[in-house]
Chains A and B, each alone.
Chain A
């Protein structure tokens, strides 16, 4: 499959000398949900801004469905809907007017039926005649999404779509995003909430200090980097790990009641059977055990710290 967005050697140095993007290469595939993760100031918003036309790149190229974003900006931008991170809305216009304005701005003929559908999908229909300034923060965020969807884009950028949004609304937005994906829209989202990426994304990119340090299928990423932990709940507290178990990657909880074994799911041989045998041989009794897999968040933190 040909990528719908192709970013090559993209660099951005701001006037202040700060290098926000450094040699970023990235292909986004049509129809996928791509999550861009990174700490504050990593370059997520700059990357999105450059693709969408808000920021001039200092080096490199971006093409959207084969259209260069500089030389052929009309064709490129027509395909894109952008929901920026900050709540930038008009104040005095009605919801209906502002969303219709966006459609016109993107050169599409009037289509009240489509605007109605977008507003209904985002639960904004009954507020369509309200002035935007009278809406709550969550509603304003949805108005911005409605504006971005007004011109039926094939690509949707969501920059921190659920920042400052309550749990219920966040779930609602995930539904909207899934429904869009089902209609073939490619979605690129940045987020602080790792669970969001974990829940939604097909692929994950991690950006730090302006460099894309990893792009991976989410499932593969979690498999590849995921470590599992086996916890043994002991009957009697242990003072120290017995010497006959020193060969294993073990740690002991402070109260001495839990023995924790960290192993790599990548390894063909996890060593669990041998460990359990050796534990019994050492005369240690346990009443329960469980295993847990590291979350994307833990993977992310370990990547960014590395």
Chain B
């Protein structure tokens, strides 16, 4: 294992985050605060409790997931796309590093940023609404697993993308709708029966449900299924990354 290479890539990526602090941390925190003002205070005051939890508190796990998913994908995809765009990827390709090490560096850094971001949003939320975390270890585990899985997805998108447009299109057209429809702002049980069934095909439902369970012990789907779905998604992404490096897809001529 070329651990120095992993460290070099990881620190390089983290340095990028510090340089773009506004973009990486401040803007998601700002947008989350806006969600709280609009959904929590303005609309939430008219909505009764959801399964025994005040609406403002109910949406916290979903809001964190929303930011973590979009930022993981955005960060990791940009991290690997940019060297491809500028051509500096030549150095990574010619270095004595395995696919695992490259992915560890890039995905590790993107996931770290997402985890930090998730915790910052959690702290921000604490300023607006009362929070209760029933299972802190599970909460952190879901946060870490989701950050890693979606950073891997972002990494894949970054390798696949051959233009800035494609880099934007997946988060915009897939991640955001799935998250909004994944029960971030409501319980699946609030949907009409047909939509409840359709929602079960949305992988984000399992993440949000499991994450929310770790806070309030209320869940749309069984917690075991949530964990299995998260791991399943993680493994799927790892398999794709492994295949990419094995074949050199979009990286090597």
Interface positions of A (Cβ within 8 A of B): 14, 46, 49, 52-56, 73-78, 80, 82, 84, 86, 88-93, 97, 101-109, 147
Interface of B is mostly: helix
List, in ascending order, chain A residues with CB within 8 A of B198's CB: none
- Taking a contact as CB atoms under 8 Å apart, the answer to whether A105 and B86 are in contact is no
Determine the chain B residues whose CB is within 8 A of the CB of A14 once the complex forms.
253
Binds A, one of B92-100, B112-120, B144-152: B92-100
User: B4 near A54 (CB under 8 angstroms)?
Assistant: no
Bound complex: CA A73 to CA B96 (Å): 7
Minimal Cβ-Cβ distance residue in B for A50: B253
On whether the beta carbons of A86 and B87 are closer than 8 Å, the reply is: yes
Give the contacts of B11-48 with A (CB-CB under 8 A).
Answer: 12, 15-16, 19
**21 A–B contacts from the bound complex (CB under 8 Å):** A53-B94, A53-B252, A54-B90, A54-B93, A74-B96, A77-B96, A78-B96, A80-B94, A82-B91, A88-B86, A89-B88, A91-B86, A101-B8, A101-B12, A104-B4, A105-B4, A105-B91, A106-B5, A106-B95, A107-B97, A109-B4
CA distance A73 to B2 in the complex (A): 12
Which residues in B have some Cβ–Cβ distance to A below 8 Å? Answer: 2, 4-5, 7-9, 12, 15-16, 19, 86-88, 90-98, 248, 252-253
- Given A14-B253, A74-B96, A80-B94, A104-B7 contact (CB < 8 Å): yes
- Chain A residues with Cβ below 8 Å from B252 are 53-56
Which residue of B has the minimal Cβ distance to A84?
Answer: B90
4 A-B pairs closest in CB distance: A104-B8, A88-B87, A74-B96, A77-B96
In the bound complex, how far is the Cα of B98 from the Cα of A197, in angstroms? 35
Q: For B86, what are the chain A residues with a Cβ–Cβ distance below 8 Å?
A: 88-91
Q: Which of B5, B16, B91, B248 contacts A56 (CB 8 A)?
A: B248
In the bound complex, residues from chain A placing their C-beta under 8 Å from that of B7 are 104
Contacts of A102 in B (CB 8 A): 91
Tell me the bound Cα distance from A49 to B252 in angstroms: 10
Q: How far is the CA of A76 from the CA of B97 in the complex (A)?
A: 11
Known: A54-B252, A54-B253, A55-B252. A105 touches B92 (CB 8 A): yes
Q: How far, in angstroms, from A52 to B96 measured CA to CA in the complex?
A: 10
For residue B2, which residues in chain A have a CB less than 8 angstroms away from its CB?
74, 107
Q: In the assembly, what is the distance between CA of A101 and CA of B7, in Å?
A: 9
Give 4 A-B pairs besides A53-B94, A105-B95 with Cβ atoms closer than 8 angstroms. Answer: A75-B96, A88-B86, A89-B88, A104-B5
- Among residues of A, the one whose C-beta sits closest to the C-beta of B16 is A92
Bound-complex Cα distance A75 to B2 (A) = 11
Q: Shortest beta-carbon distance, B15 to chain A, in Å?
A: 7
Residues of A within 8 A of B253 (CB): 14, 46, 49, 54-56
Chain A residues with Cβ under 8 A from B4's Cβ? 104-105, 107-109
Interface centre among A14, A53, A92, A97 (most CB of B within 10 A): A53
Which residues of chain A are near B91, meaning CB under 8 Å?
Answer: 82, 88, 102, 105, 147
